[in-house]
């Protein structure tokens, strides 16, 4: 059960319009429609009648949302109550699924390896959950990447949560494919060359449904009609290695490409760049006894900058 989708349905019922609800939620209308359809499919019900005048709640839809109301309220209460009980000594890093973040974590550990005491957690997920993890105090810092065309949405969502966004740097878009792929020998890829091939992407919001449409626009191609959805980086890399699918992303690291027999090729004539940023709570000035958290935060931002400059700049 996706509680976020139920919240979206509440907003549609409130406004009687997918378009108005999407504006309030800072999400796109196609994505909101997708979430409502997923909710209907998962529970086998019809929530809304779609009409030329808007979205009218059905009787079973109204009953469903009313029954779900207490569940949503209890969910928020639990998050607020227990997020305050996070161990002060633990430093939690949450990131979108990218080898860049893994490299950051690797170098971060190397720098703190000699510390006598530390408790660090590292978690990868979709970008919206990264932001929410920071908001609910489940993570101290979030590492995110997004296209320039997504910047307005991301900034609005983060602002609505009362968080800070620190843009670290930018890097170009690359297409990663198998070394056995028919396009593997080209130096630059034109967007139209990708149209015959399936696209592999992550199955979370902002890692697929919205992002794939924006990616396609940036590449100058229609939205792929053949899509492969995965949940983790290993599966994505294996899928690229074993199929003729492609992924649009920052340049993959050489060790990943060598291990999975992949190659990353820049896209010709595309000025859009991927933003790398960190998300943290506003004025996250930790208590004196937790000064390590301030140090860790600045260290992570510095390492992220170093890695982008060292590995991803052309």
Tens digit of pLDDT for each residue in 49-88? 988 878 899 999 999 999 988 888 887 777 666 655 544 4
Confidence of residue 209 (pLDDT cuts 50, 70, 90): very low
Helix intervals (H) in 26-123: 29-43, 59-83, 99-112
Region 161-186: mean pLDDT is 93
Q: What is the 3-state secondary structure (H, E, C) of 74-91?
A: HHHHHHHHHHCCCCCCEE
All residues at 6 or more sequence positions from 180 whose CB lies less than 8 Å from its CB, including other chains: 261
Region 20-42: mean pLDDT is 82
What is the percent of the chain where pLDDT is above 70?
Answer: 89
The C-alpha torsion from 301 through 304 and 305 to 310, rounded to 10°, is 160
SS3 state at 144: strand
Q: From CA 68, how far away is CA 72, in angstroms rounded?
A: 6
Q: Which residue ranges form the domains of the chain, and what is each CATH number?
A: 3-83 (1.10.10.10), 90-170+274-312 (3.40.190.10), 174-271 (3.40.190.10)
DSSP percent split of the chain into helix, strand, coil, nearest 5: 50, 25, 30
All residues at 6 or more sequence positions from 207 whose CB lies less than 8 Å from its CB, including other chains: 96, 97, 126, 127, 201
Note the pLDDT tens digit of each residue in 88-145.
Answer: 457 899 999 888 999 999 999 999 888 878 888 898 988 888 998 898 888 899 999 9
Length of the chain: 314
Instruction: Output the CA–CA distances (angstroms, integers) from residue 177 to 233, 245, 286, in the order listed.
Output: 14, 7, 44
């Amino acid at each position: 059960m996706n509680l976020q989708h139920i919240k979206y349905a509440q907003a549609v019922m409130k406004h009687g319009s997918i378009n108005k609800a999407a504006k309030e939620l800072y999400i796109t209308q196609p994505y909101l429609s997708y979430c409502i359809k997923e909710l209907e499919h998962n529970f086998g019900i019809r929530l809304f009648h779609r009409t030329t005048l808007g979205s009218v709640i059905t009787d079973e839809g109204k009953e469903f949302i009313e029954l779900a109301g207490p569940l949503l309220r209890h969910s928020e209460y639990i998050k607020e109550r227990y997020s305050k009980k996070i161990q002060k000594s633990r430093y939690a890093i949450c990131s979108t699924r990218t080898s860049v973040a893994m490299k950051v974590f690797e170098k971060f550990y190397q720098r703190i390896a000699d510390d006598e005491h530390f408790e660090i957690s590292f978690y990868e997920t979709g970008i919206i959950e990264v932001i929410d993890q920071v908001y609910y105090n489940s993570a101290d810092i979030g590492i995110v990447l997004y296209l320039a065309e997504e910047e307005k949405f991301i900034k609005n969502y983060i602002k609505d949560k009362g968080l800070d966004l620190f843009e670290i740097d930018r890097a170009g878009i690359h297409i990663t494919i198998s070394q056995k792929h028919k396009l593997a020998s080209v130096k630059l890829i034109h967007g139209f060359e990708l149209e015959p091939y399936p696209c592999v992407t992550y199955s979370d919001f902002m890692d697929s449904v919205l992002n794939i449409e924006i990616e396609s626009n940036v590449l100058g191609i229609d939205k792929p009609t053949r899509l492969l959805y995965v949940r983790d980086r290993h599966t994505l890399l294996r899928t690229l290695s074993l199929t003729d699918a492609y992924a649009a992303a920052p340049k993959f690291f050489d060790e990943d490409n060598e291990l999975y027999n992949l190659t990353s090729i820049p896209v010709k004539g595309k000025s859009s760049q991927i933003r790398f940023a960190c998300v943290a709570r506003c004025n996250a000035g930790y208590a004196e006894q937790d000064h390590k958290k301030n140090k860790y935060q600045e260290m992570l931002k510095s390492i992220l900058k170093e890695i982008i400059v060292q590995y991803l700049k052309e």
